[in-house]
A and B are shown apart, each in its own frame.
Chain A
Amino acid sequence: MTAATGLRVADLTVTYPGPRTSGFRRQSSITAVRGVSLDVAPEETVALVGESGSGKSTIARAIVGLVAPSGGAVEFDGAPLSNRRDRLARRNIAMIFQDPRSALNPRMSAEASIVEAWRAHPEAAPEGVRRDPRRRREAVVDLLAQVGLDPDVAGKRPTALSGGQCQRVSIARALALRPRLLICDEAVSALDVSVQAQVLQLLVRVREARSLSMLFITHDLGVVRQVADRVAVMRRGELVENADAQTLFSAPRHDYTKELLAAAVDLDVSG
Chain B
Amino acid sequence: MTAMGLVHDATVPVPVRTGRSRVRRVVGAIPIGIFGLYVVAAVLGPLFVDYSPVGGDLADRLLAPGSVTSDGGTAVFGTDALGRDLFGQVLYGARTSVLIGTLVVLFSGLVGITVGTVAGYRGGTTDLLASRVIDVLLAFPGILLAIVIAGVFDRSLAIVVIALSVTNWIGFARLSRSMAMTLRERDWVKSATVMGVRRGRIIARHILPFIAGPTLALATIEFAGAILAEAALSFLGLGLPSASVSWGQTIASGKEYLASAWWIAAIPGTALAVLVICVGFTGDRLTRHFGRQQ
Which positions in A face B, CB cutoff 8 Å? 23-24, 64-66, 87, 90-91, 93-95, 97-99, 102-108, 116-117, 119-121, 170, 173, 177
Contact = CB atoms under 8 A, between A and B. Distances in A.
A120 B128 contact: no
A102 B187 contact: yes
A95 B128 CA distance: 31
A120 B198 contact: yes
5 contacts: A64-B194, A65-B193, A66-B193, A98-B187, A177-B195
A70 to B, nearest CB: 15
Given A23-B132, A108-B205, A103 B187 contact: yes
B contact face: mostly helix, strand, loop, or mixed: helix
Given A103-B188, A108-B205, A116-B201, 16 more contacts: A66-B194, A87-B196, A90-B194, A97-B191, A98-B187, A104-B188, A105-B192, A105-B205, A105-B206, A107-B209, A116-B192, A116-B195, A116-B205, A119-B197, A120-B195, A177-B195
A102 B188 contact: yes
Q: Which A-B residue pairs are the 5 nearest by beta carbons?
A: A103-B187, A87-B196, A105-B188, A102-B187, A120-B197
Nearest to B206: A105
Given A95-B191, A104-B188, A120 B196 contact: yes
A94 B194 contact: yes
Nearest to A87: B196
A95 B196 CA distance: 12
A197 B175 CA distance: 42
A153 B188 CA distance: 18
B22 interface: no
Contacts of B191: 95, 97, 103-104, 170, 173
A90 B187 CA distance: 18
A106 to B, nearest CB: 8
Contacts, number: 60
Interface residues on B, range: 10 to 19
Nearest to A162: B4
A79 B187 CA distance: 26
B289 interface: no
B205 A23 contact: no
A64 B210 CA distance: 25
A121 B195 CA distance: 8
A121 B205 contact: no
Interface string B194-237: 11111001000110011000000000000000000000000000
Q: Which of A91, A105, A107 has the most CB of B within 10 A?
A: A105
B128 A23 contact: yes
Q: Which of B132, B195, B198, B206 has the most CB of A within 10 A?
A: B195
A97 B190 contact: yes
Interface string B112-142: 0000000000000000100010000000000
A23 B132 CA distance: 9
A117 B188 contact: no
A173 to B, nearest CB: 8
Contacts of B198: 120
A94 B192 CA distance: 11
B288 interface: no
A108 B205 CA distance: 9
A98 B206 CA distance: 19
A95 B192 CA distance: 10
A265 B195 CA distance: 38
Contacts of B193: 65-66
A97 B196 contact: no
A30 B67 CA distance: 79
A36 B12 CA distance: 46
B196 A91 contact: yes
Contacts of A116: 192, 195, 197, 201, 205
A226 B89 CA distance: 80
A124 to B, nearest CB: 10
Interface in B30-81: none
Contacts of A107: 209-210
A185 to B, nearest CB: 10
Contacts of B206: 105
Contacts of B209: 107
B73 to A, nearest CB: 54
Contacts of A102: 186-188
Contacts of A64: 194
Contacts of A173: 191, 195
A106 B183 CA distance: 12
Nearest to B128: A23
Contacts of B190: 66, 97
B128 to A, nearest CB: 7
Nearest to A17: B124
A162 to B, nearest CB: 9
A242 to B, nearest CB: 25
A94 B193 CA distance: 11
Nearest to A88: B196
